[in-house]
Structure 1
Amino acid sequence: MTRITRREALTGTAAAGLVTMAGFSFWPGQSAAQDQELTVEDVLFDPANPVMGNKDGDVTIVEFFDYQCPYCKANHPILKDVVENDGNVRLVMKDWPIFGAPSILAAQLALGASSLGQYKTASDALMETEGRLSKELIHDTLTLADLDVSALEKAYEDSREKWDGLMARNSRQATLLGLQGTPAFIIGK
């Protein structure tokens, strides 16, 4: 019986229909011009992007997600288990709010939480919600997670240029990668 290593399992993206060229995975149909506009560094190492797990991990998982995406929410506990049980996985969270105003608000408040060192708490709480988000549900969820929504709003506003720039870069990267929705994962390079 052949045993598959953690690295082989995590980087086994060929079975998912991805093509690898020059050490970077991208979807079939992506033009060479698009490939030249996006680097591995852009996607894996944007210094503004929140990182969970081992910041120096030997395997990086990038997740493009939306807090209203039911598939993102369903996969989040599994992803958290992989990160926690392995101990050497670097999880890059790409807030990509594509489902409207509540998604944008949730991302803004989670990124505000990042400014305060509370991103994981905010993100985990928002991922545990059920159904469509509303302003009230977002505020109630974050409050129940012992987060001060007013402080998150202020932290976001104080760094608005940084966080808006990050979400714009995440959206641009998703477009250049040809992503069609959330969740979308990039594992390794």
Structure 2
Amino acid sequence: MIDRRNFLTLAGVAAGSTLILPTASLAQADISPEAVFHDPKAPALGNPDGDITLVEYFDYQCPYCKSNHPVVEKVTKEDGNLRVVMKDWPIFGAPSVYASQLVLGAQSMGKYEAGLEALMATQGKLSNDLIEKTLSEAGVDPDKAMAGYKANRKEIDALLSRNDAQAVAIGLRGTPAYIVGRDVYPGAVDADTLRKAISDARQA
């Protein structure tokens, strides 16, 4: 756990050589609370008017993101007043980037959550064919999702670059990573840890 009093000012190192998105200059990375918690282009789940926001940096090929996703869902549903901001950080290679592009592109179809849930339920590494098959089976047309991405490419690419720059500037070294209130929680977390983090943030 990293205190947010530190993450607002510290610059970290890149997650590793698997990162293929262009990394913005750390001097340009905005890691203010407004930028991290309230990026208007970042998808938000849970209660859009929730009093506490949980931010998750994730990759669709990250096994820990996938295994921990039901925990986040459970706590979100239990709480009822939690807003969850999803920050795509595709650091595991080209299929991760492709998955993020399609699911973010599916927002224009109202299918973001369906795409997210479908890919989070997959096992192991992804290929472009598996991504498309998984999305199709979930009712998300890959061609339409890609059309949605292309129509909003400038905004989506800018969002992915912001997410990357923030993650690097905060000092994250991999996925998943969660930010709640004052603290950063790197790696998978259990339900009780999330509940306590949310409770502490409400009391702060």
* TM-score scaled by length of structure 1: 0.84
- Separation in structure 2 between the aligned mates of residue 59 and residue 20 of structure 1, nearest angstrom: 15
Are the counterparts in 1 of residues 57 and 178 from structure 2 also a CA contact under 8 Å? yes
1:187: which partner in 2?
Answer: 180
> What is the percentage of aligned positions where both structures have the same residue?
49
3-state SS in 1 of match to 2:84: strand
Question: Residues 136 and 61 (structure 1 numbering): CA distance in 2 closer, same or farther, change over 3 Å?
Answer: same
* Deviation, structure 1 residue 110: 0.6
Q: Deviations over 1:79-118 (max 9, x none)?
A: 0111112111100000000000000000000101112221
Aligned residue pairs, count: 168
Task: Compute the displacement of 1:37 (Å).
Answer: 4.7
Q: Paired residue for 1:132? A: 125
> What do the CA deviations read for 1:16-40 (whole angstroms, capped 9, x no partner)?
2x1242xxx628x925x97x95210
Matches within 5 A, 1:132-171: 132-171=125-164
1:38 and 2:19 correspond: no
CA distance in structure 1 between the aligned counterparts of 2:170 and 2:107, rounded to whole angstroms: 26
The residue that corresponds to 1:11 in the other structure is: none
**Inter-partner Cα distance in structure 2 for 1:113 and 1:188:** 29
Larger radius of gyration: 1
Higher RCO structure (Cα 8 Å, ≥6 apart)? 2
Render the CA deviation track for 1:39-64: whole Å, top value 9, x for unaligned. Answer: 10010000000000001101110000
Residue in structure 2 matched with residue 99 of structure 1 by the alignment? 92
Structure 2 unaligned residues grouped into runs of 5+ = 12-25, 183-204
The separation in 1 between residues aligned to 2:98 and 2:82, in whole angstroms, is 28
Tell me the SS of whatever aligns to 2:98: helix
Report the Cα distance in structure 2 between the residues aligned to 1:178 and 1:147, rounded to whole angstroms. 34
Q: Aligned ranges for residues 80-91 of structure 1 at < 5 Å?
A: 80-91=73-84
